[in-house]
Chains A and B, each alone.
Chain A
Amino acid sequence: QSALTQPASVSGSPGQSITISCTGTSSDVGGYNYVSWYQQHPGKAPKLMIYEVSNRPSGVSNRFSGSKSGNTASLTISGLQAEDEADYYCSSYTSSSIYVFGTGTKVTVL
């Protein structure tokens, strides 16, 4: 099972919107609505930001939103803030009943 493909880095200015893509196959991202997104600050454990493609856990800002089209899922951060600077990972359940993570994206707030 190969890792899902994400851009290595994305950047934006405060207040702008950015989108991170996560590309898989019909056996993972495209086959299930079980895509989730995680934020990880340096030295910290990952934090769930989006589950089941587009749902936000309680306490996560509504500036974070998720979507999916075909084999590609996306995370959009609107109204970018300095605290959003972190690494982001997507994950998907797969047809083999295993999980796979994305390659990770470093978000920089300019």
Chain B
Amino acid sequence: QLQLQESGPGLVKPSETLSLTCTVSGGSISSSSYYWGWIRQPPGKGLEWIGNIYSGGTTYYNPSLKSRVTISVDTSKKQFSLKLNSVTAADTAVYYCAKTGGVTTFSYYYYMDVWGKGTTVTVSS
């Protein structure tokens, strides 16, 4: 079945760019049926949706992060990626990648049914 795995540096310096990759296995990343996205969770706090990428490359971002976020897909590597620039300590969190929705024969769906295990990113000098 579909599995997701996050990877990337666990420590990023303030003002630099956080870059994470999610590798998809057990299914096709290029399927036009799926949406992919990123969610984060600061220590001791709740979940925050970061953004999605849809088939064809259309992206939607959390308005609070939109100016700093880019999500992209590399179908040849079966990966999608997150870049968050100008990071501060407030961006310290566990970052999750997930399948965030898709299209069936009859309708769209908008829920996160497959999650990676998460990766901890700390912003500190």
Interface size of A in residues (CB-CB distance below 8 Å): 26
Tell me the bound Cα distance from A103 to B37 in angstroms: 19
The interface bits of chain B over 94-119 (1 if a CB of A lies within 8 angstroms of the residue's CB, else 0) are 00100011000000011111011110
Total number of residue pairs linking A and B with CB closer than 8 Å = 64
Tell me the bound Cα distance from A98 to B63 in angstroms: 9
| Contact across chains for A38 and B47 when beta carbons are under 8 A apart | yes
Interface-lining segment among A15-23, A76-84, A89-97: A89-97
Determine how close the nearest CB of chain B comes to the CB of A95; give it in whole angstroms: 12
B: contact size bracket: 20 to 34
A36 within 8 A of B: yes
CB contacts (< 8 Å) of B96 on chain A: these are 45-46
Determine how close the nearest CB of chain B comes to the CB of A64; give it in whole angstroms: 14
Determine how close the nearest CB of chain B comes to the CB of A25; give it in whole angstroms: 15
Can you name 20 A-B pairs with beta carbons within 8 Å? Answer: A1-B63, A32-B110, A38-B112, A45-B116, A45-B117, A46-B39, A48-B111, A48-B113, A51-B109, A52-B111, A91-B47, A91-B112, A93-B101, A93-B110, A98-B52, A98-B61, A98-B63, A100-B49, A102-B46, A104-B47
Query: What residues make up the interface of A, taking CB atoms closer than 8 Å to B?
Result: 1, 3, 32, 34, 36, 38, 40, 45-48, 51-52, 57, 89, 91, 93, 96-104
